[in-house]
């Protein structure tokens, strides 16, 4: 092998190996972000081969304000979360902001509010003020889901379990269960499927309240995060965030903070 052929061999080998390297901040241009979401209806999802949902529309509206043309990639949650943890200039949405994650990432939002609790049909007599009072009613839960664990750990056993949230909603509407352990997003998505007015189901006992955000890798420049937050705040003031959620029939997910 001549010195020239060796040179070109090494160049080709380097080019080949570079295709297998993980995403690195070294190859990111100025202002370039890795924007990631997952298939997580009703906030962000793929339907008819198209990425959509209120969180997607809000992020795109922010991008438009900032002149950001980076593509939103759809990855499984585990892969997206790994990149968020390990790669500078990475943003992942919709991400629940929790105490354990608070100082791992930088946050822009909130995009939506996630309430967990007991829901009932509007006008129902099932309106417990505590979990102890809820023991007097039959509660619909998803079989093997977090509801069974959450309520069971607190001494409740009055369950009627179903395989899907949709099945529980049907039982609730038919009066076969009194209450439904669910998230507001789950309620909104399933009432829409059944063609039920979301106002027909009301939260009667709130158990937890969390918010969904755009999470940025902790090494992302503060200036970038501040620009995104400022653009988001502008959308809120203009009523665009409320308008986007309303377009999907998800007004109940509008974020409220103290």
Domain coordinates of the chain in residue numbers?
30-112+211-253, 115-209
* Peptide bond connecting 224 to the previous residue in cis, omega within 30 degrees of 0: no
Kindly report the pTM of this predicted structure.
Answer: 0.72
Structure token digits, residue 233: 């705040």
User: 130 or 22, which is more confident?
Assistant: 130
What tens digit of pLDDT does each residue of 46-77 get?
989 999 999 999 999 999 999 999 999 999 99
What tens digit of pLDDT does each residue of 220-256 get?
999 999 999 999 999 999 999 999 999 998 888 999 8
Q: Is the pLDDT of residue 187 over 80?
A: yes
Residue closest to 207 by CA, chosen among 139, 144, 254, 110: 139
Instruction: Round to whole Å and give the CA distance between 42 and 190.
Output: 10
Instruction: Read off the DSSP letter of residue 145.
Output: S
Instruction: Round to whole Å and give the CA distance between 46 and 40.
Output: 9
Confidence of residue 258 (pLDDT cuts 50, 70, 90): low
Residues in the chain: 258
Give me the CATH code for the 30-112+211-253 domain, please: 3.40.190.10
User: 164 or 238, which is more confident?
Assistant: 238
- Residue with token string 């955000």: 213
Range of lowest pLDDT (142-151, 196-205, 209-218, 233-242): 142-151
Residue closest to 217 by CA, chosen among 109, 70, 22, 84: 84
Q: For 122, list phi and psi in degrees, rounded to 5.
A: -60, 130
**Can 30-112+211-253 and 115-209 be said to share one CATH topology?**
yes
Superfamily of segment(s) 115-209: Periplasmic binding protein-like II (3.40.190.10)
Q: Is the pLDDT of residue 108 over 50?
A: yes
């Amino acid at each position: 092998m001549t010195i020239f052929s060796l040179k070109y061999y090494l160049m080709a080998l380097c080019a080949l190996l570079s295709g297998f390297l993980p995403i690195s901040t070294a190859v990111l241009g100025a202002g370039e972000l890795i924007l990631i979401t997952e298939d997580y209806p009703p906030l962000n999802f793929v339907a008819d081969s198209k990425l959509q949902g209120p969180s997607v529309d809000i992020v795109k509206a922010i991008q438009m304000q900032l002149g950001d043309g980076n593509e939103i990639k759809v990855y499984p949650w585990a892969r997206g979360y790994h990149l968020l943890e390990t790669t500078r200039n990475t943003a992942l949405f919709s991400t629940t902001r929790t105490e354990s994650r608070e100082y791992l990432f930088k946050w822009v939002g909130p995009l939506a509010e996630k309430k967990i609790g007991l829901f009932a049909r509007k006008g129902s007599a099932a309106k417990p003020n505590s979990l102890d009072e809820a023991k007097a009613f039959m509660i619909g839960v998803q079989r093997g889901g977090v509801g069974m664990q959450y309520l069971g750990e607190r001494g409740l056993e009055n369950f009627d379990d179903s395989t899907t949230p949709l099945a529980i909603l049907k039982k609730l509407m038919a009066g076969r269960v009194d209450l439904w352990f669910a998230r507001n997003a789950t309620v909104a998505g399933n009432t829409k499927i059944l063609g039920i007015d979301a106002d027909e189901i009301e939260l009667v006992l709130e158990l937890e309240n969390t918010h969904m955000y755009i999470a940025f890798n902790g090494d992302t420049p503060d200036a970038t995060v501040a620009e995104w937050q400022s653009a988001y705040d502008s959308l809120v003031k203009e009523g665009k965030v409320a308008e986007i959620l309303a377009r999907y029939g998800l007004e109940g997910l509008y974020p409220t903070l103290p």
